[in-house]
Structure 1
Amino acid sequence: MAGMGIDGLVSGLDTTALITQLMQVEAMPQTLLKSKVTSTQSFITALQGLNTRVASLADAAKAAAKPTSWDAVTATSSGKSVTATATSGAQASSLSFSVDKLASAQTSVSGTVTTLESLLGDPLPSSVTLATGSGATAKATVVDLTDVTDLAGFAAKLNTADTGITASVVKISETESRLQLTAKNTGAVAAFDLHVGTVAEADIQAGTAPAPLIGRAGAIVAAGDAQITLWGNQPVTSATNTFSDVLGGVSITVSALEPTPVTVTVARDNTALKKLASDLVGAVGVVLSEIKSRTATTTTTASDGGTVITAGVLGGDSATRSLNQAIVSAVSYPVDGFSPSEVGIVIGKDGTFTFDEAKFTAAMAADPAKVQRIVSGVAERVAEVATRASDKIDGSLTQKIVNQESFSKNLSSQVEDWDRRLAVRKEGLQKTYSALEVTLSGLNAQSSWLAGQLAGLSSSS
């Protein structure tokens, strides 16, 4: 209708401006709805941010409450070439040993050859057998040589087969080469022999197999186990340079010979335990800080000079205030009659919590069991509060977010309904004022006709 140019055709009224002003009055309920949608979305965003931080607090608290978390140990070595790592199941202990041997992988080479036939024989065999290990545990892998015609193809075939070795052709002159075979794994169990033809695994295990083409006996580098010696006379071997569970829960890796005994010590990991407690206090601080920032009031000056106090987006939410109080209570209340401050969990006058590292360290040195009992007790209470609020299914914050999202969706639907209602109303007003202009135009025409008739009558008289 606006495109029809109805403004002041007859009446001289600015009907477009008039309709706009009327529509602003008509749209006031929708404007209030839009404002409510915006504030609700801000509220939802704030709740989601808080819920995420509370969920992280629950995770930190659960970790600090676990008994296994307090079994943290660390392993150290007196030798640079020896490293040790310990799992939570390891017990405090120490072990001294010398490093006598390092694990090695077998490397063998053939004699000088010019062709595959000069290596395997003429005619070429249809297969070769790789034997690994020895005795009853020996294994045989048969490699089919169909379509293999040269040394490069033979090496490629060995590399693609599941033989546990790598093969390469090393050229030593214009016409001569040697085949190098290297085990993929270290240790005596990975020692190998290469036989021409198919050899039964039973014969290999029984030691009745024919002489190998390339054998472990003539290896350039022999397959060997790593060996450490305990107490000066007790050898311990490993197929790799890592010795697992010589001490329960401890893995020892050697990288050089050490004739002088090296000592591995396993002790309580105070650094990890300190981090366990400080992470808990830090996660509590993050949540309380989030609540404080989201509920804090701001003061501004109005245009008339008055003071305007505005509450934070979560300032009027009772659930948020209750959560804050529950967390503070869970952290600050005594455990078995002992204040958390005794182990470094200190509450300030402003209600914030800090971690006193010096207090924690001193308490751990005096009575580690007491420290564990207090921190674990606090952590259990915090975990319960945080989980009750942030659980993905029935957490109070989670449920509140779901309800608010549903409420916001309903408000948005109402706003859309108002869009349609206002469009109809605007169209009605435009039709009304357009009809008014048409009516006025008709009245003006009639008035002009009557005036003309009256003028004619005067002339006749």
Structure 2
Amino acid sequence: MTTAIDGLASGLNTTAIINSLMSVEALPQTQLKTKLASNQTLISTLQSLNTKLTSLKDLSLAGSATGALNLFTATSSAASVTAKTTTAATAGSVDLTVTQLAQTQVNVTAAMASWPTDGGAPAKLTIVDSTGKTTEIAPAGTSLDDVVSAINAASGGAQAVKVPAGNGTYRLQLTASQSGAAGAFTVYQGTAAHVAGGTAIDLMADPTAAVVRTAQDAKATLYAGTAAAQVLTSGSNTFADVLPGVSVTATAVTAGPVTITVASDVPGITKKAEDLVTSVNDVLSFVSMYSAVSKGTNSSGASVPKAGILTGNSTVRAVNDQVLAALSRPIDGKSPAEYGINITKDGNFTFDSAKFSAALTADPAAAQSAVQALAARVADAANAGADPYTGSVSSLIKGRESETRDLGNRIADWDQRLATRRATLQAVYTNMEVLLGGLQSQSAWLSGQISSLPQQSTGE
């Protein structure tokens, strides 16, 4: 790198001169950097808009799905019985009496200090589940820990744990892997062949062993005490499809019939419609905020209008108009205002929950259909902008990103060009100082030579 010699001979501030010249040389690069920064800001803003459009699309698609607004609530006349609904439910009620809760089988063996042997090896044991399937288990040793590990690793329908029984002995407690009658099991000392042959030892046959809790299903009766009485069973304490799309869970046996009532979830459906309006407003407000023209000042301090980053962007304006139209256009010949969705003079929407609830109560099917149709239109409009492959905003982002990469490459090229130009200027001014210094040295030598010449005297 050429080293500048500041004013050594000329007295000039050559570094300042070079910097001034380089500022002029760098004007094209400065313009590129300004454009790059503007592009990066625009890309960031468009990406934020795209995120909002994607959220709007996802919410709208969910709201337009079949049965998405088929929401119901289920209430029970008893605290020990609760009910849940799905979109397959319909309004109605039913009485049922819970007569039995589900139980998970628990067995405990007689107390033992170690597991018995058979022919010198740890005796095998066999678990038989409710279907008759046998699982033969071979413990690694006679330690009860070995037996517990072997049972749990076998996945034979029961899990084991050893429980202290005093005097250094333990019981094996075996718990069914599933609740209800389907979880019933028996456990034997012996192989599966011994079980089949009737020679295996039932571990519960010992007088000090016990079935602590038997396997049983939960039971409930519909229309109890009538000729139409119908018994429901469940391996858990939850009865599925007591009514279409309605499941009932019991925590206690009931003394009499419990009434389950299913009704349309007006607040829940209203919230879905309100969320749609809120999400649309989120997109419209974002576009409005970044398209607004504000007041700024010029270099002389005078007030001038300042455009927003999205002002005049035709792609963004088109997406904004599509989303606006999707929610404001009539649906089935009716204005959205009839369902509480009102457009304002500012270009966004308000939602009248009371009016929507009234419309929903008066004609549930029509109100739900209208909201779903609006949601479908909004989803299409949002997707037209946000689709990662064909969306107009996504495509605009890709185009700007490509331009940004090109600007970055051009700025890098200018870095090299300017570095070369600076080196050239530094070399020129350094050489000038060296030449000027040489001339000054010659001048000083000549002056010395002249002053050393003898002076000619003049006579009178």
User: Which amino acid letter does the alignment assign opposite residue 439 of structure 1?
Assistant: L
Structure 1: distance between partners of 2:453 and 2:172: 135
Check the 8 A contact 1:2/1:16 in 2, yes or no.
no
- The AA in structure 1 aligned to 2:215 is A
Q: Which structure: greater helix fraction?
A: 1
Shift of 1:340: 0.3
Check conservation: 2:42, 2:309, Cα contact below 8 A. Answer: yes
CA distances 1:115-165 after superposition (whole Å, capped 9, x unpaired): 433xx78866631111121xxx321111113x4223343333323321222
Tell me how far 1:89 sits from its aligned partner: 1.7
Q: Give the count of matched residue pairs.
A: 451
Aligned to 2:265: 269
Letter in 2 for 1:73: F
Going from structure 1 to structure 2, the CA distance change for 1:33 and 1:170 (only over 3 Å counts) comes to closer
CA contact (8 A) 2:122 2:141 kept: no
Unaligned runs of 5+ in 2: none
Q: Which residues of structure 1 form unaligned runs of 5+?
A: none
Q: Does 1:212 align with 2:206?
A: no
In the alignment, is residue 110 of structure 1 matched against residue 109 of structure 2?
yes
State the match for 1:171 in structure 2.
164
How far 1:303 moved relative to its partner? 5.8
**Percent identical across equivalent pairs?**
42
**Structure 1 residues 179 and 445 mapped into 2: Cα distance closer, same or farther (>3 Å)?**
closer
The answer on 1:410 being equivalent to 2:400 is: no
Contact 1:193 1:215 in 2 (8 A): no
Q: Equivalent residue for 2:341? A: 345
Question: Match for residue 100 of structure 1?
Answer: 99
Q: 1:209 to 1:369 in 2, by over 3 A?
A: farther
- Distance, in Å, in 1 between the alignment partners of 2:200 and 2:150 is 22
Q: Which of 326, 329, 336 is the equivalent residue of 2:332? A: 336
Range that drifts further, 284-293 or 61-70: 61-70
Cα distance in 2 between the residues matched to 1:183 and 1:66:
41
- Return closer, same or farther for 1:69/1:8 CA change in 2, 3 Å cut-off: same
Partner of 1:440: 436
2:216 to 212, 224, 233: 224
2:123 alignment partner, one of 111, 122, 126 = 126
Q: Secondary structure of 2:174's partner? A: strand
User: Secondary structure of 2:204's match?
Assistant: coil
- Match in the other structure for 1:23: 22
Match of 2:397 in 1: 401
Assess, with a 3 A threshold, how the Cα gap between structure 1 residues 330 and 451 changes in structure 2: closer, same or farther: same
Which whole-Å deviations, capped at 9, do the CAs of 1:66-87 have from their partners, x for residues lacking one?
2321222333222211122122
**Cross-structure match for 1:288:** 284
- CA shift in 2, pair 1:92/1:459, >3 Å: same
User: Which stretch has the larger CA shift, 326-335 or 36-45?
Assistant: 326-335
Task: Give, in whole Å, the separation in 2 of the partners of 1:79 and 1:109.
Answer: 36
* 2-structure distance, mates of 1:175, 1:46: 73
Distance 1:195 1:219 in 2: 14
2:292–2:307 Cα contact (<8 Å) kept: yes
Contact preservation (8 Å) 2:3, 2:427: no
- CA apart distance, 1:177: 4.1
Q: In the TM superposition, what whole-angstrom CA distance separates every residue of 1:231-283 from its partner, at most 9, and x where no partner exists?
A: 11322211211112232322221111112111222232223311221111011
Q: Is the 8 A contact 2:72 2:265 kept in 1?
A: yes
Aligned residue for 2:311? 315
- In the superposition, the TM-score normalised over structure 1's length comes to 0.90
SS in 2 for 1:68: coil
| d(CA) in 1 for partners of 2:379, 2:100 | 50
Decide whether aligned partners of structure 1 residues 378 and 159 sit closer, same or farther in structure 2, where only a CA change above 3 A counts. closer
Cα RMSD, aligned residues only? 2.5
Are 1:141 and 2:135 matched, yes or no?
yes
Secondary structure of 2:203's partner?
coil
Q: Distance in 2 between matches of 1:367 and 1:329?
A: 25
